[in-house]
A and B are shown apart, each in its own frame.
Chain A
């Protein structure tokens, strides 16, 4: 590539970065405001007797569990997504199970590598394609037909679904998390911590809302001290067949 075309490519890419980061930030902040307007309307105009105190308490418990993900996930995904796609991914959601596979498939299809300029452009286009399919299928099947599809289901089934949807989701998600994280020691620590905390909460009821946050904290701390220290060495002995490798893929925190 000659110097002229290189600088031209630099300028074009800089223009792309400027446009996407400016509009990416603006659209994301607008979506953030809109997503808060719904609950705010219910709280302030819904006549439901909701107090700010109730919301703060509820959010504190949720934040205790999930705030760390909000901080860690952008850092985790940045190297893979690139600046432009970050503003798409954290608005469209379902990053590890939909957007990343879509981006990787597209980069593979046109033969460009992730992390390069061409790769970034391909990822952005792939995520736009994925977004169009996702928005359309959500609008049609959930937005327009959702309640009708649900009404086709007999009442006794809906009652069961409503009562048991949470255990039905969580069992599968826990297994999926174990399979994605691929850290045997951490899994053992997490399950032991979880089991103990649930037992304790049966006795100490007021602890229940903070159990998940404590689970996150204890698991991180214990897993850190119980980690396989041999892995700090760059060249591991071949005999060390411990399967808890540090994760090398981006699925680590795929819950967004």
Chain B
């Protein structure tokens, strides 16, 4: 049927989100990180022996870092795959996989979608909303990088004096900002439907349980996997709840 639709109102997100041009820019970010690592390794190898770190110790440090990050990387992979339907592969690779994190980026996208009168993955989540959310996420992530480029040389010059000026403030503000942001975002999910409410609660309880187990029995890998496991458990319960309402209807 040939109906005339407004540009960007299609809900086929992947049609725009997996565009080849977006792939090229995403792979470009990967290439930049590879190049940076190569330059850094060369620089460390050149300086190492004079500073008192032998080449084999540098290799050992590289290997330790690689092994330590296997668990966290796979955990990120699981969350990233779960978000592919919402953002498509290139945006997930750059925003969730690299620069940002699942929590910050989905929260940013949700806030952006709200300004357009819809929700992430909800009824009105169309190509236009995706583009606006993707743009807002990217600009927001860019602020981190810009702040890093500007602040790092200043911090180097001034030592770490900023945190010495008022250590209490520096200890309190980041934590309060983090908790304030995620309290509002999380509690906002509760009134949406009873399934949303149940999903939030299951996700929170599973995470709390896993953290208690990880802490009590010193299972460090569990902390890395906790987010992935909590998301899967919460989605499983949401699926059962969703199916039961369909069966009852």
Docked CA distance A218–B114 (Å): 20
Please encode chain B, from 218 to 249, with 1 for each CB lying within 8 Å of some chain A CB and 0 for all others. 00000110110011001100110011000000
- Which residues between 170 and 215 of chain A lie within 8 Å of chain B, taking CB atoms? 170-179, 181, 183, 186-187, 189-191, 193-195, 197-198, 201-202, 208-209, 211-212, 214-215
Docked CA distance A204–B61 (Å): 54
Given the complex, which residues of B lie within 8 Å of A232, measured CB to CB? 168
B145 A32 Cβ-Cβ under 8 A = yes
Interface centre among B72, B93, B135 (most CB of A within 10 A): B135
Give the residue of A20, A71, A162 whose beta carbon is less than 8 angstroms from that of B147: A71
A5 to nearest B CB, angstroms? 8
For chain B, the count of residues having a C-beta within 8 Å of the partner chain is 168
A165 B106 Cβ-Cβ under 8 A = yes
A172 B204 Cβ-Cβ under 8 A = yes
Given the complex, which residues of A lie within 8 Å of B69, measured CB to CB? 98-99, 101-102, 129-130, 133-134
Give the residue of A30, A43, A84, A125 whose beta carbon is less than 8 angstroms from that of B65: A125
Given the complex, which residues of A lie within 8 Å of B77, measured CB to CB? 137-138, 141-142
Instruction: Provide a sorted-by-A list of 20 A–B residue pairs whose CB atoms are within 8 angstroms.
Output: A15-B43, A23-B39, A27-B36, A31-B32, A35-B141, A37-B28, A46-B19, A62-B112, A67-B143, A69-B178, A98-B72, A98-B76, A123-B61, A126-B68, A135-B34, A142-B84, A168-B235, A215-B181, A219-B177, A220-B180
9 closest cross-chain pairs (CB), A and B: A126-B65, A219-B180, A194-B183, A171-B203, A129-B65, A48-B8, A129-B66, A215-B184, A172-B230
B29 to nearest A CB, angstroms? 5
Given the complex, which residues of A lie within 8 Å of B6, measured CB to CB? 49
Supposing A39-B131, A76-B170, A164-B238 touch, asked if A54 and B81 sit within 8 A by C-beta, the answer is no
Docked CA distance A214–B80 (Å): 29
- Which residues between 91 and 122 of chain A lie within 8 Å of chain B, taking CB atoms? 91-94, 97-99, 101-103, 105-107, 109-110, 112, 117-118, 121-122
Given the complex, which residues of A lie within 8 Å of B67, measured CB to CB? 105, 129
Given the complex, which residues of B lie within 8 Å of A150, measured CB to CB? 81, 84-85
Give the residue of B41, B142, B143, B152 whose beta carbon is less than 8 angstroms from that of A125: B41
B146 to nearest A CB, angstroms? 7
- A158 to chain B: closest residue by CB: B85
Docked CA distance A145–B138 (Å): 24
A173 B68 Cβ-Cβ under 8 A = no
Give the residue of B46, B131, B195 whose beta carbon is less than 8 angstroms from that of A50: B131
Supposing A128-B62, A135-B34, A170-B203 touch, asked if A74 and B179 sit within 8 A by C-beta, the answer is no
- B114 to chain A: closest residue by CB: A209
Given the complex, which residues of B lie within 8 Å of A11, measured CB to CB? 50
Given the complex, which residues of B lie within 8 Å of A134, measured CB to CB? 69, 73, 76, 97
- Which residues between 54 and 106 of chain A lie within 8 Å of chain B, taking CB atoms? 54-55, 57-59, 61-63, 65-76, 78-79, 83-84, 86-88, 90-94, 97-99, 101-103, 105-106
B32 to nearest A CB, angstroms? 5
Docked CA distance A256–B103 (Å): 9
